[in-house]
Each structure stands twice: as C-alpha cells, then as structure tokens.
Amino acid sequence: MPNIGGPRQEKRILLNEVVHASILYAAPIWAKALEVKKRKTETSISSATGALRVVSAYRTVAEQAVFVIAGRTDKADIKNEAKEILYQLWQRRWDEAYGGKWTHMLIPNIRRWTERKHGQVDYYLSQILSGHGAFEHYLYRFKKRASAACKYCSSAIDDVSHTIFECSAWEPGRLKIKGIFKVPFKKENLVPSIVEDEDIWEAFVAFISKILRQKELDQRRVEE
C-alpha cells in the first residue's frame, strides 16, 4: 500500500487483521516452531511489517516504536495473555526497548495512546512520532544529504524537534497551534494534548502536514 493516499488507517488495520488471521490459521500445529528463536524473529518481522503499513511509516522506524505508533502489538508470543497482562508486558517491552527513544519520549504510556477515542495516524504524523522522515538530520544519517543543517534557518541540526518547535520558517503556523493548546506547546505535552482533544489533534496534524509537504516539494524542486 502507498504511504501517501490509499486506505485510511482504519481500513489498513482491517487489511492487516485479515493478513494476521491468515498467518494464525492452524496455529496449534505450527506454534511449537516459535520456540526456535529464528522462527520467532521471522514472525515478529511479519508483525512489524504489518504495523508499518497500518501507519504508513518509514521502514527504518524501530520495531517497538512502530508497534506503539500503530497501536498494534506483536501478537505472536502473547496472544493468549489476558488484556491486563498484555498491556503490562507490552509496556515493559517498550520501556526497555533499545530503539525508538524519541517515540518513547512522546508516547511513554502505551495504553493511553492505544485506547484514545479519536485520531488517525497517517504518513505525516508517523514522521513526527518516529522522527524518521523529511528532516535533514535523519536523511544525513542515511547518507541522503551532505549536511544535517536546516535549509530554512541557521540551525546546524534539522531534526523532528527543530522542525516542530524551533524553526523560524514555520513560526506562523506554530503560533496558531500554541493558541489552541491548553498547556505549553512542548515535547512532553504534545501527545497528551492531541489525545485529549480531537480538535487539537486535527489542528496539529494539519500544521505538520503542511510543513512536511512543503519540505518534500522544495526537495523535489532541487532534484529536478
């Protein structure tokens, strides 16, 4: 499925569940194979790939981070656990995860995120929640850019945090968002605020989508 356009998140979830159900067909027969570490890893990769498609995320996003952003856990090894135990295990795994530190800072509490009553995660919001996307620092890490510096201001680093909270090029839109937020517009308040209020969610998504579209458009112009 394409990252831009295509089905919305709820339809992607449905398609992923269909695939997952197919994978689990005759599970009692092949379940013992998961005792082999290699097989368990292969199953985990399959689950992670499905989660990537659900939220249209970059393939470089850490496995545990994409599970959290998608609100979908790797069910292969804990599918028989009760809901409360599942959340405890998932939360502990998330807290101990090596990758996805930016995502963990934004979404420390899995349950609060996954049980929200509104909000679809799309291609642009995935970039903000993961830190993987149209950011010079990220692209520089993967040798897609010669420099990590921001092309819109004098900052030496253009990462996701700089784009959202600091870059002067996006200040007009940022001022509008600050006026909507009920608490200071800071990293630690970002996800709690958009989860609490659907209007804030929609306004924030519109804000970051406009920025990322512009950055991608400007880059295409440079490459032409």
Domain segments of the chain: what residues? 9-115, 133-221
Helices (H), 168-197: 171-180, 187-196
Distance spanning both ends of the chain, measured CA to CA = 26
CA distance 132 to 107: 15
Q: What is the reported pLDDT for 219?
A: 86
Q: What is the reported pLDDT for 38?
A: 43
Print burial letters for 21-53: b (CB count within 10 Å at least 16), e (below 16): eebeeeeeeeeeebeeeeeeeebbeebbebbbb
CA distance 55 to 158: 23
Q: What is the reported pLDDT for 139?
A: 93
Q: What is the reported pLDDT for 8?
A: 63
How many residues would you count in the chain?
A: 224
Q: What is the reported pLDDT for 9?
A: 58
The one-letter amino acid code at 103 reads T
Contact 66, 51 (CB under 8 A): yes
Per-residue pLDDT of the chain (224 residues; tens, 9 = 90+): 555 666 565 655 555 565 555 555 445 444 455 444 444 444 454 566 667 767 777 878 887 787 788 876 655 544 555 577 778 888 999 999 999 999 999 999 999 999 999 999 999 999 999 999 999 999 999 998 999 999 999 999 999 999 999 999 999 999 999 999 999 999 999 999 999 999 999 999 999 999 999 999 998 887 76
